[in-house]
Structure 1
Amino acid sequence: MFTEQEYDVIVVGAGHAGCEAAAAAANLGSKVLLVTMNMNTIAQMSCNPAMGGVAKGQIVREIDALGGQSGIVTDKTMIQFRMLNRSKGPAMWSPRAQSDRMRFAEEWRMTLEQTPNVDFWQEAVMGLVVENDTVVGVRTQLGIEFRAKSVVLTNGTFLNGLIHIGEKNFGGGRAAERGSTGITEQLKELGFEAGRMKTGTPPRVDGRSLDYSKMEVQPGDEEPSKFSYLDTPRLTTQRPCYITYTNSEVHNILREGFEKSPMFQGRIKGLGPRYCPSVEDKINRFADKDRHQIFVEPEGWSTVEVYVNGFSSSLPEDVQYRALRKIVGFENAKMFRPGYAIEYDFFPPTQLNLTLETKRIKNLYFAGQINGTTGYEEAACQGLMAGINAHNRVHGKEPFILKRSEAYIGVLIDDLVNKGTDEPYRMFTSRAEHRILLRQDNADIRLTPLGHKLGLASEERMRRVEEKLRQTTEVLELLKNMPVEAAEVNGLLESIGSAPITEKTRAINLLRRPNVELAHLISVLPALALQLSVYQEYSLEQAIINIKYETYIEKEYQQAARFLELENFVIQGRLDYKQMPALSHEAREKLLRVQPETIGQASRISGVSPADISVLMVYLGK
């Protein structure tokens, strides 16, 4: 029975990457089998109960714009929303939602169960079925072979996972869940290079045992927004988070456990995330600081479980407990479970094409932490792209690759494939050279037409984008033509520290001033307020951003166009770079390994200099 049905796509693992991969391929029309070791932990939030954040929020918006599901699921299950970095320019604005952990996982499972073309199987996958350097299925622990035209591996932290708490360690892919064996060993035999990485998580505590009156309240936004561009629900009530701090007493107790720390004693070999260090790493590296911030985050609407963000640790459980109780507000804290570190296998992503298909084995795709990334959002967007490309591959369609100037998703995949990573890769706005173009507010404008062309973004999404563009254009025209007399606005301008005008001008000219907002003009120009009242908030915001950053946006487009010339210079076939002696030794080595598809991709490979690119272009010109 099991070997008779052939699937288009088999997805191994049902974390954030696996869920997006399965949903994307199925919604495009592929017959999909999602294999997971535990159907009760589909889309489990293994670490913090939150989606989005700096650069990560932009990725969730991009997933949504393309027709993915993460934004919708988050909107339906969040308990708090905040737009980070509002005091900075719009390129830095980043949406973040606190989620109900249990409802998030449940909503994802219901979404997949209601998606036609998705079948499920609960069991461990022990290996791949490979014929003639092409994957043709998977083999489970029971010895069942499921055949498929393509396979997407999204194994997260489960490949030979090893959990560390003090001097104790045991196999596991997550707390109370066993790890996965067999796949790494087979891939190595097939010629893949593997490595080890490490991540960690903090203890969970009983919120009933905390004294919140001693902490700082961190409420959500007064007018909470959301992630999806569709009509998902907006929050009307929110749960607050809280902020407290470690202190010297906490640090001293933690230091007592250093001799039993698996990280400091060398028992952990994998490299951890630089930007999310454990609390023991923080007090060791930043010994001059007498306190560190702790974010106290509820895990849901109803549960009393609390996530202690900022206190990730792999120290012995008794040390964690004693140190926790010295934090202000945690004097009587009861621990549900201690924090731990986990080591797991990953495969350097330079072994992938930009479609996330492996170079060694055809029709095999990797997505998520198996590629060396960290974070739900980074995993989800890779799953989406792998699912799209697996579907396209088996149906004879063109690969779907996003450019660096089109999306943060494009930046992430380009970085991974061309530069690789030797530590868990996390997205930041600083990684994107075109970040003024890649804002969270315009992800739909950038990507929904592409998703619609693929067949993943619905007609409704496309209509919404067209309406947004229409309204934005009309608002810009209105502001360009709206006359403003000095007497109408000079009082306002003086009150906000802006120079008064001496002659009639247009509303758009005033809005180009950095300290003049649309709300200011609406408050003193009733005619303007009336005319703008018919437009949606998102169209007004889009118009104002275009006005205030017009020059910068135009420069970014020009720069992106120059980069595009290199991107469009395709390298035909597989070149033998060893036969190009004018290239540096390092360039020959890196180009041979990566086999870039364009000159633009070649130029971003670490170790390939501008001089090497010039040599390569001369060679290709011949």
Structure 2
Amino acid sequence: MFPKYDVIVVGAGHAGCEAAHAAAKMGSSVLLCTMNMNTIAQMSCNPAMGGVAKGQIVREIDALGGMSGIISDKSMIQFRMLNRSKGPAMWSPRSQNDRMRFAEEWRLALEATPNVDFWQEMVTGITVKDSRVTGVRTGIGIEIEANSVVLTNGTFLNGIIHIGEKQFGGGRTGESAAKGITEQLVSLGFESGRMKTGTPPRVDGRSLDYSKMEIQYGDENPEKFSYSDSTAPLKEQRSCWITYTNKEVHETLETGFDRSPMFNGRIQGLGPRYCPSIEDKINRFAERERHQIFVEPEGWDTVEIYVNGFSTSLPEDVQFKAMRKIAGFENAKMFRPGYAIEYDFFPPTQLKLTLETQLVENLYFAGQINGTTGYEEAASQGLVAGINASLKTQEKDPLILKRSDAYIGVLIDDLINKGTEEPYRMFTSRAEFRLLLRQDNADLRLTDIGYQIGLASEERLEKMHSKRDETAKLINDLKQKKVVPDEVNEALNAINTAEIKEKISVEKLLKRPQVGINDLKTLDKDLEIYLNKYSKEIMEQAEIQIKYDSYIEKEQQMVEKLSNMENYRIPIKFDYLAIPALSAEGKQKLNKIRPETLGQASRISGVSPADLSILTVYLGK
């Protein structure tokens, strides 16, 4: 009935979709298994992509040849570049999306991808021979063979949904939990744990009074995620709104605390620290009289509204009463209550940097099964797992992104070396080289890598080369072009920056904080004509590289210093237990994680500088 596949992907969420698309695009035969073909790429929580650090990840996925950026652009209803008031390392693209169109676009993209087959059924286990995965087993007893398997089970592994004192099995509202996989993996020697996440109520937008809220428009000149020309920027956008909880809302919520699964101990798993439930927020921050609520449309044509900031697992009657005390929500009609979901995950310290498991060869984990939260984090792991499953099938070298290459590299390195005890979320602060890892240069960093592995197209590569070359030419020309005091001082005064006293290059003027690249057009008519030849993207790229040149150079020097340790490889079967001078914790952690390089060993929690020195000596021998 089934051929033997190169790659079987279990789960069709954000991780599974990226894994299936990447492996198939690289030439592998792929089977995507899902419990429901109608929920492929479902946006289980908020209808949005990107955000702080997450937007950088979407751009990186796109630069490598993944689809999340293109799908986001095709289903976008609003775009905002966050943190514009800060430095470019902090700028983060974010889109509001049409939930139904997002899922539809992903399904259509996968159906249009040669080499992807589909099977709708629950996968209850994997088949293993001699510590090597050989395929999957389904709920009706079918065994399907494969060279590799990627598990992207999301919140479905033994998932339990909590609403007040009610609890029932499920991986998402209205969908069954996945049974059997956790138990089998534990029997194979894997360590598992429990985590939780939550979602807010959905309401009828026709029942809200928007006059009592603050309107939140999209950017005046919206951009997009993808570096490709597959879509055009939005010409029309839908607005969001902001409102706030109040003391009365908090008091009403508190009446349900005795029935809250979070407070009465029924939920054991740890929830996301940076996306807490509303009851957690008013409990932890009792001194605050209000909390922000983002009112987000679910799409172009639907009236459904996502109440961002009101995630809760309190009883539905308490949710409803409290919500109606929020400004603008006095007559709100609820479509469905918020809920918490508890699910199994597998500590990611059991993986290699390729996301292949250490215990079972050719078995890969991606997404929330690794303890992460967020569409973007899941999609990036799915992309890397799909790429590496395909590369291994083709007997090619794996793709391992370093911390200096991408936020995706930071994410995976953190998971494998530090593990996580709570749902992991990406922030710009996690990346020590964030000035190098900006959202505007993901294509310059990663498109060549995507092309080399057979994922990014030649057209993408040529477009990136054109951007790189045009930027370099513009920077060089601005270094050569000179301005004199008599011609520009009046214009400099107009933009509140100091006059010049001698002839200087335009590049030096642009290094000033008060001078933007568009301000240069006011200095000189010829300069204006020259700059108008370049696109907004090229001018922005040149401006960033000129203004932050010294800082970028310092980060690159730091990368080069650390690369020596990254290039110092450790033999796969190195016996850490045979080194008596290593600390007990150092031995334990090194033996468990099995780092591939000295650099990776240095980032493992519990491995001291003394351990590292001792290890270096023994490796030298």
Corresponding letter in the other structure for 2:324: R
Matches of residues 453-468 of structure 1 in structure 2 within 5 Å?
Answer: 453-468=452-467
**Alignment partner, residue 140 of structure 1:** 138
Q: Is the 8 A contact 1:489 1:521 kept in 2?
A: no
Tell me which moved more, 212-221 or 498-507: 498-507
**Alignment partner, residue 169 of structure 1:** 167
Identify which of 6, 26, 29 aligns with 2:27.
29
Structure 1 Cα separation of the partners of residues 316 and 44 of structure 2: 19
Structure 2 Cα separation of the partners of residues 363 and 521 of structure 1: 55
Identify which of 50, 57, 60 aligns with 1:59.
57
Structure 1 Cα separation of the partners of residues 348 and 332 of structure 2: 42
**Alignment partner, residue 520 of structure 2:** 521
Structure 2 Cα separation of the partners of residues 213 and 237 of structure 1: 21
SS class of match (1:518): coil
SS class of match (1:498): coil
SS class of match (1:253): helix
Post-superposition Cα deviations, 1:46-65, rounded to whole Å, max 9, x if no partner, equal 00000000000000000000
Corresponding letter in the other structure for 1:574: K
Corresponding letter in the other structure for 1:348: P
Structure 2 Cα separation of the partners of residues 221 and 470 of structure 1: 29
SS class of match (2:518): helix
**Alignment partner, residue 152 of structure 2:** 154
Structure 2 Cα separation of the partners of residues 410 and 491 of structure 1: 48
Corresponding letter in the other structure for 1:82: R
4+ runs of 1 displaced by more than 2 Å? 491-497
Structure 1 Cα separation of the partners of residues 527 and 477 of structure 2: 9
**How far has the Cα of 1:412 moved from its partner?**
0.3
Matches of residues 114-513 of structure 1 in structure 2 within 5 Å?
Answer: 114-231=112-229, 232-513=231-512
**Alignment partner, residue 111 of structure 1:** 109
Q: Is the 8 A contact 2:517 2:540 kept in 1?
A: no
**How far has the Cα of 1:530 moved from its partner?**
0.7
Corresponding letter in the other structure for 1:85: N
Corresponding letter in the other structure for 2:195: M
**How far has the Cα of 1:604 moved from its partner?**
0.2
**How far has the Cα of 1:459 moved from its partner?**
0.4
Structure 2 Cα separation of the partners of residues 584 and 541 of structure 1: 50
Tell me which moved more, 127-136 or 524-533: 524-533
Identify which of 83, 89, 92 aligns with 2:90.
92
Structure 1 Cα separation of the partners of residues 544 and 119 of structure 2: 47
TM-score between the two structures when normalised by the length of structure 1: 0.99
Q: Is the 8 A contact 2:205 2:304 kept in 1?
A: yes
Structure 2 Cα separation of the partners of residues 383 and 488 of structure 1: 56
Post-superposition Cα deviations, 1:97-123, rounded to whole Å, max 9, x if no partner, equal 000000000000000000000000000
For the pair 1:537 / 2:521, whether they are aligned, the reply is no
Identify which of 10, 13, 22 aligns with 1:12.
10
**How far has the Cα of 1:83 moved from its partner?**
0.2
Structure 1 Cα separation of the partners of residues 469 and 563 of structure 2: 27
Q: Is the 8 A contact 2:227 2:443 kept in 1?
A: yes
SS class of match (1:373): coil
Corresponding letter in the other structure for 1:454: I
Matches of residues 540-559 of structure 1 in structure 2 within 5 Å?
Answer: 540-559=539-558
Tell me which moved more, 267-276 or 576-585: 576-585
**Alignment partner, residue 77 of structure 1:** 75
Corresponding letter in the other structure for 1:467: S
Post-superposition Cα deviations, 1:422-453, rounded to whole Å, max 9, x if no partner, equal 00000000000000000000000000000011
Q: Is the 8 A contact 1:437 1:556 kept in 2?
A: yes
Structure 2 Cα separation of the partners of residues 492 and 337 of structure 1: 58
Corresponding letter in the other structure for 1:317: E
SS class of match (2:435): coil
Structure 2 Cα separation of the partners of residues 67 and 54 of structure 1: 21
SS class of match (2:360): coil
**How far has the Cα of 1:493 moved from its partner?**
2.3
**Alignment partner, residue 39 of structure 2:** 41
- Gaps of at least 5 residues in structure 2 are none
Structure 1 Cα separation of the partners of residues 572 and 380 of structure 2: 28
SS class of match (2:551): helix
- Gaps of at least 5 residues in structure 1 are none
**How far has the Cα of 1:497 moved from its partner?**
2.8
Q: Is the 8 A contact 1:12 1:125 kept in 2?
A: yes
Structure 1 Cα separation of the partners of residues 527 and 75 of structure 2: 38
Q: Is the 8 A contact 2:7 2:23 kept in 1?
A: yes
Post-superposition Cα deviations, 1:387-420, rounded to whole Å, max 9, x if no partner, equal 0000011110101100000000000000000110
Structure 2 Cα separation of the partners of residues 57 and 222 of structure 1: 19
Corresponding letter in the other structure for 1:423: E
Post-superposition Cα deviations, 1:24-75, rounded to whole Å, max 9, x if no partner, equal 0000000000000000000000000000000000000000000000000000
**How far has the Cα of 1:462 moved from its partner?**
0.3
**Alignment partner, residue 100 of structure 2:** 102
**How far has the Cα of 1:252 moved from its partner?**
0.2
SS class of match (1:315): coil
Structure 2 Cα separation of the partners of residues 495 and 178 of structure 1: 64
**How far has the Cα of 1:199 moved from its partner?**
0.1
SS class of match (2:136): strand
SS class of match (1:318): helix
Structure 2 Cα separation of the partners of residues 262 and 495 of structure 1: 61
Post-superposition Cα deviations, 1:523-577, rounded to whole Å, max 9, x if no partner, equal 2311111112222221111111010000000000000011111000000132221
**How far has the Cα of 1:307 moved from its partner?**
0.2
Structure 1 Cα separation of the partners of residues 90 and 255 of structure 2: 40
Structure 2 Cα separation of the partners of residues 573 and 51 of structure 1: 38
Residue identity (%):
70
Post-superposition Cα deviations, 1:153-173, rounded to whole Å, max 9, x if no partner, equal 000000000000000000000
Structure 1 Cα separation of the partners of residues 575 and 300 of structure 2: 59
User: What is the CA RMSD across the aligned residues, in angstroms?
Assistant: 0.7
Structure 2 Cα separation of the partners of residues 525 and 322 of structure 1: 63
Tell me which moved more, 479-488 or 551-560: 479-488
Structure 1 Cα separation of the partners of residues 491 and 85 of structure 2: 21
Q: Is the 8 A contact 1:368 1:378 kept in 2?
A: yes
**How far has the Cα of 1:489 moved from its partner?**
2.2
Corresponding letter in the other structure for 1:388: I
**How far has the Cα of 1:514 moved from its partner?**
1.0
SS class of match (1:29): coil
Structure 2 Cα separation of the partners of residues 237 and 523 of structure 1: 31
Structure 2 Cα separation of the partners of residues 29 and 579 of structure 1: 43
**How far has the Cα of 1:348 moved from its partner?**
0.2
Structure 2 Cα separation of the partners of residues 536 and 402 of structure 1: 30
Corresponding letter in the other structure for 1:234: P
